[in-house]
Amino acid sequence: MPRTYQDPTIDIFPSARIDTVSPLIFSGFIEHLGRCIYGGILPATRETFPYTPRKPCPKDQFTETPSNLLTSQGFRKDVLEVIRDEVAVPAMRWPGGNFVSSYHWEDGVGPLEGRKRRPELAWGFEESNVFGTDEFISWCREAKCEPYICLNMGTGTLSEALHWVEYCNGTGDTYYANLRRKHTGQDEPYKVKYWSLGNEVYGPWQVGQQTASAYATIAHQWAHAIKLFDPSVILVSCGLSGLDEWDGVVIDRLVDQVDLHSVHLYTGFGDRDRSQAEKEFGRSVHGPEAAEYALEIARGLINKARVAKRVSKPIKIAFDEYGVWDETVGTPHNGLEQFYNLTDALAMACWLNVFVRQADLVEMACIAQSVNVISPIITGPTGLFKQTIYYPLYLFSKYMRGGTSIKVEVDSPVFEGETLPTWISTIKGKPKLLDVSATLHPKALCVAVVNRSEDTTYTDVPLRIASWDAERVKVGRVEAHEIWHEDVKARNGWESKEEVAVKSSTEEWKGSWTFKKHSFTLLVIEF
């Protein structure tokens, strides 16, 4: 059949290099919330589970985890293995999230018997403080992650923050550096490099909400003082989604004080009465377009501020909370445990496409969250299963990490339905049904393609690699990794662990590929 204008094409430009993909886009986030820390990082116990008498937890949460499933330090081996050996998560953000805004780090260090149990204001539970700074650092060492600590700018003070940095990084003969030595029995500092100045301080849900200008004034003082103590740290300002007025005010004020600007965004269906269920697929898979537009605007805001303040060093983005979250499904009542389907996995692949395409701006991205809480991994007392959204993360990390992001032009039909938010289609422009990113590696070209059409398979789509014909680059085999299921609502669970997983195959490269309806395909084209 002759091709028509409706038939998509993908043009790839290996010489149009965007930037190296930062390995830190595969970072994670663990918060004291639900079963993330207690149940995900450590086994859950009656003492640690963040329940209250008013919100008891199901009894079956407390089946003991046998000690052979734990490391010598008491951490869950299975979760560590996925995080370290499979996804190779490079950095982990902790302790929140909203939790941090009433967290006092000194409650969580020193002998366990002396640790104070505290009311937890963000999620309404109780915090045992069994997992604190020393446990977090030990866990990060086992997981081979860089620790990334978020400071309490809700109930916390600058002096408390300075003490925390001193506790972690102090090398002198001073009180908190010595306290760390006393607790660890070692001289070596923790050398925590990444610190962020508060979490979502703009939000009415936050303990200690502030206006943008009030926040900017205080964060400026904190940044100045923290860098006096340790000029080597990477400081992250608290942003909103990247395109809000808040971001403009904060960036203008802090651009010469910080190293990264953080943004948060979640995508998902988000319809309370679920009467609009037929819109679910389109809204979910196109949602990450909003993040890309916000990043483009944030880039402008940052550069405007850099010009005004003559800041020559680039200020990049820490997208330190992103993911698929339907707040009507993952709620504080169920510890934000959401079960994901194929639609959500496709959205996750689109999220990662955004980070690859914006490689020159996005230095770090932390999936929210790394275990149990709106997460790719769900644990039980003696095992875990991987949700659908795990597989795109795994594939991008395995194949595209360390590559150079290159330009791609896609000609494909567009999505005519309703997007969430609607401005994606009205302002950014109707999303293309094929969502693509590409990376160049020494011996391979990786192309990640999400077919966001719910019902159309695109057959033999040409992937034209610009200039390679003329340069006679000899393309050999292609490895294809595909995530697909006939049913967009298919999901994994304890009984059907691999209902949605990766199917891989290898063949000669013929210059085109067939992208199944509602599928994700990662092609590794060898040359």
Interacting span for ligand AHR (CB under 6 A) from 8-16, 92-100, 287-295, 469-477: 92-100
d(CA 355, CA 519): 19
Query: Which residue lies nearer to ligand AHR by CB, 126 or 256?
Result: 126
Half-sphere exposure of 420 (CA within 13 A, CB side): 20
User: CB–CB of 315/253 below 8 Å?
Assistant: no
Least gap, CB of 308 to ligand AHR (angstroms)? 29
Contacts of 81 by beta carbon, 8 Å cutoff, 6+ apart:
none
Least gap, CB of 513 to ligand AHR (angstroms)? 4
What are 194's two structure tokens? 């990444």
Strand partners, 260: 236, 316
User: CB–CB of 436/449 below 8 Å?
Assistant: yes
Asked if 519 interacts with ligand AHR (CB under 6 A), we say: no
Determine the size of the site formed for ligand AHR (CB under 6 A).
14
**One of 128, 199, 353, 425 touching ligand AHR (CB under 6 A):** 199
Least gap, CB of 187 to ligand AHR (angstroms)? 35
Give residues 350-389 in contact with ligand AHR (rule: CB under 6 A): 368-369
Choosing from 120, 127, 289, 321, which is the catalytic residue? 321
Going by their DSSP bridges, the two strands 316-324 and 362-367 should be labelled as: parallel
Least gap, CB of 188 to ligand AHR (angstroms)? 31
Nearest residue to ligand AHR on Cβ basis: 97
CA distances from 466 to 11, 200, 383, 437, 463 (A): 7, 43, 47, 15, 9
Query: Which residue lies nearer to ligand AHR by CB, 399 or 484?
Result: 484
The interface mask with ligand AHR, positions 489-518, x = CB under 6 A, is ------------------x----xxx----
Question: Considering only CA atoms, which of 330, 512, 353 is closest in space to residue 439?
Answer: 353
Give residues 281-340 in contact with ligand AHR (rule: CB under 6 A): 321
Least gap, CB of 298 to ligand AHR (angstroms)? 18
What are 96's two structure tokens? 């929140």
Least gap, CB of 501 to ligand AHR (angstroms)? 17
Query: Cis link prior to 381 (omega < 30° from 0)?
Result: no
Known catalytic membership, residue 321: yes
**One of 43, 96, 335, 403 touching ligand AHR (CB under 6 A):** 96
**One of 85, 245, 460, 498 touching ligand AHR (CB under 6 A):** 460
Asked if 453 interacts with ligand AHR (CB under 6 A), we say: no
Known catalytic membership, residue 200: yes
Choosing from 200, 280, 289, 482, which is the catalytic residue? 200
- CA dihedral 194→199→201→203, nearest 10 degrees, is 150
Give residues 14-33 in contact with ligand AHR (rule: CB under 6 A): 31
Interacting span for ligand AHR (CB under 6 A) from 12-20, 90-98, 112-120, 342-350: 90-98
d(CA 389, CA 492): 10
Neighbours of 418 (CB within 10 A): 15
Strand partners, 10: 410, 463
Asked if 219 interacts with ligand AHR (CB under 6 A), we say: no
Asked if 97 interacts with ligand AHR (CB under 6 A), we say: yes
User: CB–CB of 423/326 below 8 Å?
Assistant: no
247's enclosing H/E stretch is helix 245-254
Least gap, CB of 522 to ligand AHR (angstroms)? 12
Asked if 210 interacts with ligand AHR (CB under 6 A), we say: no
Least gap, CB of 142 to ligand AHR (angstroms)? 23
Asked if 127 interacts with ligand AHR (CB under 6 A), we say: no
294's enclosing H/E stretch is helix 288-309
Apex 238 CA angle, 236 and 242, nearest 5 = 105
d(CA 298, CA 143): 32
Binding site for ligand AHR (CB under 6 A): 31, 96-98, 199-200, 321, 368-369, 460, 507, 512-514
Catalytic residues: 200, 321
